[in-house]
């Protein structure tokens, strides 16, 4: 593995990249070698929740399923927050049961996510994907034991440079999510911001991968 793409919706099938491809229970593609699976808050459907959770639980027991998610909370959608929290907590219980990391979608609900992690005493690694906020929120998340993944906004928002530079090397991942740019392009910019070589950056990401994903198999 030269590159690890922590979160993507596009499987590119390149031999030097380990891609953690996002999957949804109802649209599962068995041909994708490594994936995460979860109920995204945008796509919560009351009548489908139990069926989706059963599919997720089944897939979490396979070696190709590296993580649960993306799942989480989003205050900018019409689905009631109480329902989102209920679905999120049920998925976190599965992550704990099967010792799998969690890919988290969080929009304007960081305090709620932190509170849930504390209240449920979640020990599974929790990674906020697509981080786009300030250093204060990043520092609070890291203090509370979260990992942070950078990608789209790192490329598009220069204000994130300082946030990323201050992120501890043992607490971040890189991703492409839905953008057209390659994971190599994200690595290139991340290396520039951290003032390290791509080889050094790959070693950091590889170490974090082992801490989060290999640990979950033990």
pTM: 0.97
Is there a binding annotation on residue 82?
no
User: pLDDT, tens digit, for every residue of 38-88?
Assistant: 999 999 999 999 999 999 999 999 999 999 999 999 999 999 999 999 999
pLDDT at 217: 61
Give the CA-trace dihedral at 44, 49, 53, 59, to 10 degrees. -60
Measure Cα distances from 132 to 59, 90, 146, 150 in Å. Answer: 30, 26, 15, 8
Mean pLDDT for the stretch of residues 155-177: 98
pLDDT at 93: 98
Give the dihedral sign, CA 119/121/122/126: positive
pLDDT category of residue 218 using cuts at 50, 70 and 90: low
Q: What is the DSSP string of 121-162?
A: T--S-EEE-S--S-HHHHHHHHHTT-EEEE-HHHHH-TTHHH
Q: For residue 48, which of 74, 81, 72, 83 has the smallest C-alpha distance? A: 83
Is there a binding annotation on residue 177?
yes
102 in Cβ contact with 92 (< 8 Å): yes
25 in Cβ contact with 55 (< 8 Å): yes
pLDDT at 215: 73
- Please name each of the domains of the chain with its CATH number: 3-217 (3.20.20.140)
* Percent with pLDDT over 70 in the chain: 99
User: pLDDT, tens digit, for every residue of 149-158?
Assistant: 999 999 999 9
Give the CA-trace dihedral at 37, 43, 44, 49, to 10 degrees. -50
Mean pLDDT of the chain: 97
Geometric angle at alpha carbon 169, from 132 and 106, rounded to 5°: 30
Query: Which residues, 6 or more positions from 121, have their beta carbon under 8 angstroms from its beta carbon?
Result: none
183 in Cβ contact with 150 (< 8 Å): no
Question: Does residue 25 register a pLDDT over 90?
Answer: yes
How many other β-carbons are positioned within 10 Å of the β-carbon of residue 214?
9
Question: Does residue 144 register a pLDDT over 70?
Answer: yes
pLDDT at 216: 58
């Amino acid at each position: 593995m030269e590159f690890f793409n922590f979160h993507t919706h596009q499987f590119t099938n390149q031999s030097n990249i380990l891609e953690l491809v996002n999957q949804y229970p109802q649209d599962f593609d068995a041909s994708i070698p490594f994936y995460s699976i979860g109920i995204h808050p945008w796509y919560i459907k009351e009548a489908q929740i139990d069926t989706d959770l059963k599919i997720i639980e089944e897939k979490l027991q396979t070696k190709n399923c590296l993580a649960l998610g993306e799942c989480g909370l989003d205050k900018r959608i019409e689905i009631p927050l109480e329902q989102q929290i209920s679905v999120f907590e049920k998925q976190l219980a599965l992550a704990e049961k099967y010792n799998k990391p969690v890919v988290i979608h969080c929009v304007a609900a960081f305090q709620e996510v932190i509170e849930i992690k504390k209240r449920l005493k979640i020990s599974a690694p929790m990674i906020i994907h697509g981080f786009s906020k300030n250093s204060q929120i990043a520092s609070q998340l890291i203090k509370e034991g979260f990992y942070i993944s950078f990608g789209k906004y790192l490329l598009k928002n220069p204000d994130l440079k300082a946030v990323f530079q201050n992120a501890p090397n043992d607490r971040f991942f890189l991703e492409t999510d839905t953008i057209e740019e390659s994971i190599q392009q994200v690595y290139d910019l991340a290396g520039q911001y951290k003032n390290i070589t791509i080889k050094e950056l790959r070693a950091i990401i590889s170490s974090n991968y082992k801490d989060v994903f290999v640990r979950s198999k033990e």
